[in-house]
């Protein structure tokens, strides 16, 4: 589940908890909405910690080339 899926879970949970007044027998929609929001927040936290680990900058391993003039008769000096 990506970041978009987590945000959708949070939004659906908030809608179920705060914006509806439906009554279903045997199902508490407020509790279902709160569970969706908690799962979405856990997903966002997990996704951000994984993404933070992926962004580690590795220094280049190629050697640095010197820009000194050549003294072997080719290239000027």
Residue 60 in any domain: the answer is no
Report yes or no on 33 lying in a domain: yes
Residue 16 lies in a domain: yes
Counting the structural domains of the chain, the total is: 1
DSSP 8-class letter at 62: S
Each residue of 43-55: b (16+ CB within 10 Å) or e? bbeebeeeeeeee
13-40 residue pLDDT tens: 999 999 998 888 999 999 999 999 999 9
72 in a domain, yes or no? Answer: no
The verdict on residue 58 lying in a domain is: no
The average pLDDT across 60-75 equals 66
pLDDT single digits (tens) 44-67: 999 988 877 766 666 767 766 666
pLDDT confidence of residue 46 = 92
Give the domain extent around 35: 3-52
């Amino acid at each position: 589940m990506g970041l978009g899926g987590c945000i959708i879970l949070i939004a659906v949970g908030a809608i179920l908890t705060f914006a509806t007044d439906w009554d279903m027998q045997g199902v508490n929609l407020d509790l279902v909405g709160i569970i969706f929001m908690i799962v979405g927040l856990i997903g966002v936290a997990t996704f951000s910690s994984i993404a933070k680990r992926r962004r580690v900058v590795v220094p280049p391993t190629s050697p640095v080339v010197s820009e000194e003039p050549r003294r072997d008769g080719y290239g000027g000096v």
